[in-house]
Structure 1
Amino acid sequence: MDFRLQTLTPHEAASLDADALILLWPDAWDRADAARADVLTVWGRQALADGDVGAEPGKWLAAHRLPGVRPRRVVLVRCGDGSAAAVRKATAAAWAALEGAAPVRSLVLWVGDLPAAALSATVLALAAVTYRYTSTLSQPKPRALQTVTVGVTEADTRRAAFEEAVAIAHGQELAREWANRPANHSTPALLAEAAQALEGRGIDVEVLGPKEVAKIGMGAFLAVAQGSSQPLRFIVLRYRGAAKSVPPVALIGKGITFDTGGISLKPAAEMDEMKFDMSGAASVLGTFEALARLRPAINVVGLIPACENMPGGGAVKPGDVVRSLSGQTIEILNTDAEGRLILCDALTYARQRFAPRAMIDVATLTGACVIALGHVRSGLFATDEGLAQALSAAGDAAGDPCWRMPLDDEYGEALKSPFADVANVGGRAAGVVTAAKFLQRFVGDVPWAHLDIAGTAWKSGKDKGATGRPVPLLVRYLLDQAASAAAPEKAAARTGRRRRG
């Protein structure tokens, strides 16, 4: 989908050649300058006076062939105080009003002088509600909407926010696409090919197979993969936007392309949704798609350990002990707690090879996180206060929120084993925390955060499908970090110019 930003008045928006026009109407417009006499403003003001449209965000009024308006369909939609949350709701409601009739291939979306955050939310909301999965359908119904002209009061002041939102939308869509694909269409090898498709856009990709992984010593990762006929892949992505000497941020995404639970077999009900167990990996791919488009001044490494967790004759068994890349031995009490096994080796690899400034792993790790936080916020664990605050702020700003959870040392007691350095599970109590405590053993002194996205990575029921979270959070965090790093340099440059003057 092609998004375009343009400086437009309501009158100019009404004159564009398009199938439909969405007019976002904030509460402040209820008191708009009465002297404004363009057809959209007059129509909207009269509709409000007549009580034909409610005041709550998402309430809408549609018109067909409105005199003086070129787009054949117009939807006025209330967006309350113009906040990001309100415009997300309004945009989704307006599109729902449009999509049931004739296809909309071109759309004018007028947002006026709403804040930059609201503009971003509008773009992301429209991209989300118009997305269509088609990859494995014999008679697909692809997205009809092809072009969106976003009209604002002053394009120059909104350009940066707009471009960031479009890049995040593309990244989120890539994440949704790969998480939605059935496991036989999203094997570790195919996931590696998806990563390699990003090469040549400022991103380098390296793919390791079983022999290379065994040579490195990733015994925990190998243990999970050994029950499947699909060979594992360890995918390494590198984006270099800053000087070589600047340590990177490492993103590690859980890439279990299908999770049966292994020998500790899951119940049959809803097991099909375990294709979503590589959503962490998909979010790393989506984040790199956004980086390729935005080119921020930051170095980022992406690591994706990808494999299936199957109950084959060679599968790891409950009670087996394996040696991780860190040298720590692990007693595998439950083979369905496999995500932490592949992540612990990836975390050790990131720390040893790249000496990152921070490590963030992203994983559909525990059902316990769904019980704790539901489907609104991702679980956040962090060893570093600054990292935790930055991720929380990024999530709030991006409309992709998380909630910080505890890492008290006492929780780690549950992971003790008489047969290995650590057990991979610690019982049902505080399962989301003990999973994080397991991972913490492998991060050393590098600032580390763990995002458990089990409740936010996909939806079940009639709206079943991947959400593409937490791509918005991750991209916002990386852009904020790049901006923070650039600020001292800009200040120094200004000081230097003043001294020379």
Structure 2
Amino acid sequence: MKINLMDDAFKGSNALLVGVFEECNCVGCCDKAQGLLTQLKESGRFNGNYGEIYTVNGVGEQPREVILLGLGKEKDLNITKVQNLFGKAFKKAQELKLKALDIASFKVEGLCTFRILKAMVEGVMLANYSFDTYKAEKSKCTVEEINIDPSGLELDNEKAEKALKEGMTLAINTMLARDLVNEPSNVLTPTELSERAKAQGEKCGFEVEVFDKEKITELGMRAFLAVGQASYNEPKFIVMRYVGDPGNRDEIVGFVGKGLTFDSGGYSLKPSAGMQDMKSDMAGAAAVIGAMSSIAEMKLQVNVTAVVASCENLISGGGYKPGDIIKSMAGKTIEVANTDCEGRLTLVDAIHYIISKEKVTKVLDIATLTGAVLSALGKITTGVLANDDEFYGVLESAAKKSGEKIWRLPIFEEYKECNHSDVADLHNQGVGGAGTITAGLFLGEFVGNTPWLHLDIAGTGWANSTAECQSKGGTGVGVRTLYYIARNLSQKSCETCK
């Protein structure tokens, strides 16, 4: 499917999509439909309510299909809603088996026009996603061409082209992350994940180095190794480096993604119901690979290093067990109370490595870490822990741009006591409740004074149903937010509004 910016009048042969506000009685570019819209509103058949769609045939001098899209009240519209609206409209175009669709753009009071155009692009592209790699009959999209008229946004050609490119890049790499999460674990092993990261590095322009088991052992990543030691598939440690600001090499943003390509829970075995979805326990890794791809493709003027400790948490005679005491790369010892609290063990070695060896000056980890975050925030919001208000502010700004919802959780000193062990430095299963907080603070023990953010995407990384811009399965959450964090910290932003 091609997405173009129109530089002339709407093509009479194509169907036309027009957004209509609830309080507005005009259709702007579609003057021929003006009287019809008034009639529709007066009869109650179409009122412009949010998400409402009405199709009209034979409008204009060259009769064609016109899709009226209800935008709701202007004051209630935000970037996420724009994405969802155009995702819904695109699916309607597919239902109508349209081959081409012209889209009229519009301004929204209080919303950046640059972001509106990107949201329109992301909405239609993400709505077109499907994971049918292993199906004999592939999904077919009848819509071959989308033409967006940017004139309603009052953006010049250069800015509109930048918005189009950025929107398409982010959508493509969000879908890349979805693909990685949706792959079955017999295909996406730690080795295969590392190969796909390498391929993205070659394609997009960032360096990828992969450490094998021998190198991981040499580095002293015993906590990481313990989690993967029951599996036939050997662990891989993936390091991705992008240098977009070579004159400022002392400033490096660090991303750490959880990379469990399958998690059985180990000897603390998970229930069989839902275990098939544990191929998604590498959604954090998918997010950082997608974000690095976007950062490099858009050539952001910022230095970013990302790491993934990838392995499988399985059961065998050689697996680690409840009651074991293991040593981390940082030298701290950990009492294993629960082998299903494995993510934090892989992440602490990854966090220590990226700070001590890659010398990052800020670090963010993103992980499907706890079921507790589902109890707290459901599948709508990502839970966040932060030790630095300024860095959290960068994340908050990025999340507003991406439309991905976040919520900051408290990190009172009393919570740290929940990770106390009588026989080791730390206990890998917090006691006393607040599981998302105690798991995050377990990681926080390994960051020292480095500004740090922890994103728990156990709820938001996987969708149980299909919605406007989301199909069932991996969501690709985090790709766009991590990209905007890097762009917020970039020396030169490509966006026209902040």
Given the two structures, how large is their TM-score scaled by the length of structure 1?
A: 0.90
Give yes or no for the alignment of 1:95 onto 2:86.
no
Deviation at 1:42, TM superposition (A): 5.2
Report Cα offsets for 1:37-73 as digits up to 9, x if no partner.
7335554455334433123111111134444357x53
What CA distance in whole angstroms lies between the structure 2 residues aligned with 1:122 and 1:337? 40
Greater shift, 44-53 or 172-181, is seen at: 44-53
Unaligned runs of 5+ in 2: 494-498
Q: Does the 8 A contact of 1:121 with 1:399 survive in 2?
A: no
Shift of residue 477, structure 1, vs aligned partner: 1.5
Change (3 A) 1:428 1:162: farther
Question: CA distance change for structure 1 residues 13 and 429 in 2, over 3 Å: closer, same or farther?
Answer: same
Aligned equivalents of 2:486 and 2:21: distance in 1? 31
Q: Among 476, 493, 496, which residue is 2:484 paired with?
A: 476
Amino acid at match of 1:161: A
Check the 8 A contact 1:54/1:60 in 2, yes or no: no
Shift of 1:138: 2.4
Cα 1:94–1:360 change in 2 (3 A) is same
The residue correspondences of 1:211-230 to structure 2 (distance < 5 A) are 211-230=214-233
1:393 maps to what in 2? 397
**Map of 2:119 onto structure 1:** 121
Q: 1:31 to 1:41 in 2, by over 3 A?
A: closer
SS at match of 1:74: strand
Alignment of 1:315-330 (within 5 A): 315-330=319-334
Aligned to 1:25, the other structure's residue is in SS state strand
Cα distance in 2 for residues equivalent to 1:320 and 1:206 = 31
**Contact 1:84–1:122 (Cα < 8 Å) also in 2:** no
Task: Identify the residue that residue 496 of structure 2 maps to in structure 1.
Answer: none
Partner of 1:199: helix, strand, or coil? helix
Tell me which moved more, 182-191 or 56-65.
56-65
Q: CA deviation at 1:144?
A: 4.3
**2:212 aligned partner:** 209
In the TM superposition, what whole-angstrom CA distance separates every residue of 1:99-158 from its partner, at most 9, and x where no partner exists?
A: 2342x4433222244533322222222222110112222222244444322211145243
- Asked if 1:6 corresponds to 2:6, the answer is yes
CA distance in 2, matches of 1:292, 1:88: 24
Q: After superposition, what is the alpha-carbon deviation per residue over 1:380-434, rounded to whole angstroms, capped at 9, x for unaligned?
A: 1111100111101211221112100111121111111122111111136001010
Find 1:161's aligned residue among 160, 163, 166: 163
Alignment match, 1:370: 374
**1:467 aligns with one of 472, 475, 495:** 475
Tell me the equivalent position of 2:421: 417
2:234 maps to which residue?
Answer: 231
Distance 1:477 1:194, change over 3 A: same
Whether the aligned pair in 2 keeps the contact of 1:57 and 1:87 (CA below 8 Å) is no
The whole-number CA distance in structure 2 between the counterparts of 1:41 and 1:186 is: 53
Hey, what does 1:380 align to over in structure 2? 384
Q: Which amino acid aligns with 1:55?
A: G
The equivalent residue for 2:103 is 109
- 1:296 Cα shift? 0.8
Higher RCO by CA contacts (8 Å cutoff, separation 6 or greater): 2
Query: How is 1:44-443 mapped onto 2 (pairs within 5 angstroms)?
Result: 44-69=37-62, 72-80=64-72, 81=74, 82-102=77-97, 104-114=98-108, 115-153=113-151, 154-156=154-156, 157-200=159-202, 201-244=204-247, 245-427=249-431, 429-443=433-447
Q: Shift of the alpha carbon at 1:14?
A: 4.3
On the 8 A contact 1:254/1:306 being kept in 2, the answer is yes
Say which is worse superposed, 337-346 or 44-53, in terms of deviation.
Answer: 44-53
**Cα root mean square deviation, aligned:** 2.1
- SS at 2:379 equivalent: coil
Q: How many residues align?
A: 476
Contact 2:27–2:33 (CA<8 Å) still a contact in 1? no
C-alpha distance 279-7 of structure 1, shift in aligned 2 (>3 A):
same
Equivalent residues of 2:227, 2:311 under 8 A apart:
yes
| Aligned mates of 1:93, 1:37 — CA distance in 2 | 21
Change (3 A) 1:78 1:199: same
Identical positions, percent: 33
Q: Which runs of 4+ in 1 moved over 6 A?
A: none
For residues 146 and 230 of structure 1, what CA distance do their matches in structure 2 show? 41
CA distance in 2, matches of 1:31, 1:140: 40
State whether residues 171 and 288 of structure 1, in contact with CA within 8 Å, keep that contact through their aligned partners in structure 2. Answer: no
- Label 1:14 to 1:44 Cα distance change in 2 as closer, same or farther (>3 A): farther
Q: How much does 1:163 deviate?
A: 2.5
| Contact 1:365 1:454 survives alignment (8 Å) | yes
Structure 1 residue 242: Cα displacement = 0.5
Preserved CA contact (<8 Å) 2:355 2:361 = no
Deviation of the 1:165 alpha carbon: 1.7
- Verify the 8 A CA contact 2:207 2:241 in the aligned structure 1: yes
List per-residue Cα deviations over 1:62-89 (Å, max 9, x = no partner): 134444357x533110113153244234
The CA deviation at 1:356 is: 1.2
